[in-house]
Structure 1
């Protein structure tokens, strides 16, 4: 049985090979596009990605006062132009120091290809399988993968569970276990936040982040770090939090068990009554 360190090293090597394959495919796609233009052939590729988000205000999730979804219940990835084949990401230092030692992720030439990235989060309550949406939130996925491959989430606890009708999520990713900890760096919001112009009133209207969504927690615009939400029940929140993947059926069953245990003291919002300790987060590839 390989150790977690061996699995991470294997995952790192596989990721490097994936990056090489993606770059080669991107090169071929570019060559084909140029050839098509020369021949005067118009090729239209349509892709619609439907995703919802969840929220947390400060360092904690924040329930919305309304249980009625707005007209923007569904958000589609309707960018006027697709993302380029690679993007550059910025991970500037945060005000608070890292809650656990880590090395910030790479910043240059981050692929936006649609090759899925699957990770397995083993917890004291069961396994939670994650599929990361790279083309939708490449800088977010890049950070999550970097932290996971460094073992940043290993030995940490999911510190908050909410079971109200408007917000049903498990919050994880803080080594301090307080809702205040992070990796010592922060980064910008991505989808669906980037679908709204600054000052757009629609950006403050709740949308539905459906069961099975993974989204980033933050303390305001551009303050993403290591904390994330696992949505086990449709939740209505402003589209202010980056959604970057989905949870598999086994993971949802694990979350349902955790949710059934409720929060400590019978509350709808607080530390899970069933302790959720993360043993490891490793690549399935």
Structure 2
């Protein structure tokens, strides 16, 4: 859903819903950021939604790892692809360790066309980020079936902190880094949130009536 800076997850298809639905994925089969297992995080010139240190330049893990996203609606367990998207996972784990996601609302739900719940902005507006950006990790073969965990962006190589969970197979182009997936119970939980519908509709007419805030608040307590 990308971020509305998902907005950042969809650039227009979702608008930062994925903030944006940026450019298509690279046809190169090698993730752009994983290179020599070193990662580059660049100051984006914006004030961070919550002050954090930059992630380490060397990924803390290059293997699949699991985390628990604890919310007011229940737990969402996720497996992160540290082997294929090491720099994305490195950033996500760094933010989680620093409490960046703690007590933040999932600010966006899209229940038509793209089927995503978007989170990761402490401001709850879809405009916030960690104060840095980093490159996509794309193969060009990405797909977004139900349960996918991916980064929202506002264009090529603009990843920050906003991410989305796909609750129904989505037709996104291969422009959003897929860095993990949620378990069956977590997917069911998100599908239940989606079934409740939209609360406050988006003010972007391009996104249609199926985009807005979740009808009932979804708050991330911790990610560990």
Alignment deviations for residues 220-250 of structure 1 (CA, whole Å, 9 cap, x no partner): 1111000001011111112111110010011
Equivalent of 1:95 in 35, 38, 45: 45
Mapping of residues 164-183 of structure 1, within 5 Å = 164=112, 166-183=113-130
SS at match of 1:87: coil
1:24-43 superposed matches below 5 A: none
Normalising by structure 1, report the TM-score: 0.65
Contact 2:4–2:126 (Cα < 8 Å) also in 1: no
- Asked whether the equivalents of residues 57 and 220 of structure 1 are also in contact (C-alpha less than 8 Å), the reply is no
Q: Residue in 2 aligned with 1:67?
A: none
The match for 2:133 is 186
- In 2, Cα distance between the equivalents of 1:151 and 1:88? 23
Aligned ranges for residues 261-276 of structure 1 at < 5 Å? 261-264=196-199, 267-276=209-218
| Residue 163 of structure 2: aligned partner | 228
Coordinate RMSD, CA, aligned: 2.5
Three-state SS of the structure 1 residue aligned to 2:67 is strand
1:277 equivalent in alignment to 2:219: yes
Aligned residue pairs total 201
Q: CA deviation at 1:122?
A: 0.8
Cα distance change on mapping 1:272 and 1:186 into 2, 3 Å: same
- Residue in 1 that maps onto 2:150: 215
- Structure 1 portions without partners, runs of 5+: 1-53, 65-74, 196-206
SS in 1 for 2:157: coil
Q: TM (normalized to structure 2)?
A: 0.82
